[in-house]
Amino acid sequence: MILPSKIWLSSPHMGLMEQKYITEAFDTNWVAPVGPHVNEFENELCSYTGIKNAAALASGTSAIHLALILLGVGNGDKVLCQSMTFSASANPIVYQGAIPVFIDSEKESWNMDPKLMEDAIIDLKSKGESPKAIIPVHLYGMPAKMDVIIEIASRYQIPVIEDAAEALGSGINNKKCGTFGDMSILSFNGNKIITTSSGGALLSDNKEFIEKARFLATQARDDAPHYQHSSIGYNYRLSNVLAGIGRGQLQILDTRVGQRRTNFKRYVEYFNKVNGRGYQVEFQPEPENCFSNRWLTSILIDPERNKGITREVLRLAFNEDNIESRPLWKPMHIQPVFKGAPSFTDGTSEWLFDNGLCLPSGSNLSEDDFRRIEKVMDMVFK
Ligand SMILES: *Cc1c(COP(=O)(O)O)cnc(C)c1O
């Protein structure tokens, strides 16, 4: 049997300018992890988000790693991290020999529960410890409760590293995600809302952090004619070629946000009809004053309220037709690799993981793609 062409969960979507910027990099021979596109991309990230300083880096993961290094996180330190996220939020904590403490989600945005976060801080304090940093995440582009998280964090004087990898274009009260943390990180991996194929950035209003990040990201070379080093460096800078792609992508970011939000609306209209037939499929809520880029549209299918249908039934039905969908992030506190890490949980993220599914959400989905997607859903939700 020949399968129909694959419909991806979220695939790259180039605009009109990316190729031109790549050609420019070649024509000027800036084919290196340094060059005019890198500088301009950083400036343009600042103007888009409103942050004062940005360092273009090789990945979102390397951005989190550098942020932890800049905060002096080291051996045996504790770092609070949202449990429901991609493993890249937590891995760099372990690179530093530190210990992640996983915090469960609240139900309003599916992100770090500020109450459980404070419980964790109080618990650590009672043992004479204090977390060195807090890493909240904006899951699928939905802003976390940053006002409460930051209020608590500053009360205990703990710096916040905002993982905005999935949330470029999102915001709270018209303030852009990526501008709330003491440092914030972005990702431009292939599946994100805009991509440089691979890449990331570290953002901060604190100039010192960003200058130090650029220094560490380029092998920590001291100011000398020969290669002189007085600290350990990293090879974490973004290529000038890839920064060219990023510049093109940034120009159409708002269009991409619009397209993703239109996908979301289409799914909402579809499931309004389904729910009219006795089902109760739910969406990731968008709390008041929040604006989500709706990077991935994600739904909850509680079998008890959906005639026994589980998210797995829908996922496998999609799979049969070569359509990619995916369960929500499996929480870090139940991942084999983080077994034994401390956690503050109340079952929310496990419930979300068991019942949640990310639907195909690319900004380049066609009308034909949507017809195929809806045909499969029609078969499942009869
Ligand atoms: C993608 C992602 C990252 C890592 O970004 P890379 O550029 O892939 O290294 C970190 N955190 C979250 C929440 C992500 O989705």
Report CA(141)–ligand 1 centroid distance (Å).
Answer: 12
Residue 334 pLDDT level (bands cut at 50, 70, 90): very high
Provide the pLDDT for residue 3.
82
Q: Which domain holds residue 100?
A: 18-252
171/286 same-domain check:
no
Which atom of ligand 1 is the closest one to the Cα of 62?
9
- Look up the CATH number of the domain holding residue 36: 3.40.640.10
97/246 same-domain check:
yes
Residues 101-111 pLDDT 10s: 999 999 999 99
Q: In the listed set 193, 228, 252, which residue is the last one of a domain according to the structure?
A: 252
Q: How far apart are CA 37 and CA 27, in angstroms?
A: 13
Nearest CA to ligand 1 atom 6: 60
Average pLDDT over residues 121-138: 98
Is 196 a pocket residue for ligand 1 (Cβ < 6 Å)? Answer: no
Residue 290 pLDDT level (bands cut at 50, 70, 90): very high
> Is pLDDT above 90 for 235?
yes
299/194 same-domain check:
no
Nearest CA to ligand 1 atom 11: 89
Q: In the listed set 252, 278, 297, which residue is the last one of a domain according to the structure?
A: 252
Report CA(58)–ligand 1 centroid distance (Å).
Answer: 11
Average pLDDT in the chain: 97
Query: Would 9 be classed as within a structural domain?
Result: no
Query: Would 10 be classed as within a structural domain?
Result: no
Report CA(27)–ligand 1 centroid distance (Å).
Answer: 31
179/50 same-domain check:
yes
Give CA separation, 99 vs 78, 102, 108, 226, in Å: 5, 10, 27, 37
pTM here?
A: 0.97
Q: In the listed set 233, 252, 271, which residue is the last one of a domain according to the structure?
A: 252
Average pLDDT over residues 350-379: 98
Please report, rounded to a whole number, the percentage of residues in the chain having pLDDT higher than 70. 100
Is 137 a pocket residue for ligand 1 (Cβ < 6 Å)? Answer: yes
- Is 346 exposed, middle or buried, given 0-12, 13-18 or 19+ CB atoms closer than 10 A? middle
Provide the pLDDT for residue 253.
98
> Is pLDDT above 90 for 154?
yes
Residue 2 pLDDT level (bands cut at 50, 70, 90): confident
Average pLDDT over residues 324-351: 98
SS3 70: helix
- Look up the CATH number of the domain holding residue 295: 3.90.1150.10
Q: How many CB atoms lie within 10 A of CB 219?
A: 15
> Is pLDDT above 80 for 360?
yes
Which atom of ligand 1 is the closest one to the Cα of 61?
9
59/114 same-domain check:
yes
Number of domains the chain contains: 2
Is 89 a pocket residue for ligand 1 (Cβ < 6 Å)? Answer: yes
237/268 same-domain check:
no
Is 60 a pocket residue for ligand 1 (Cβ < 6 Å)? Answer: yes
Short-list 63, 16, 365, CA closest to 217: 63
Which atom of ligand 1 is the closest one to the Cα of 192?
1
SS3 263: helix
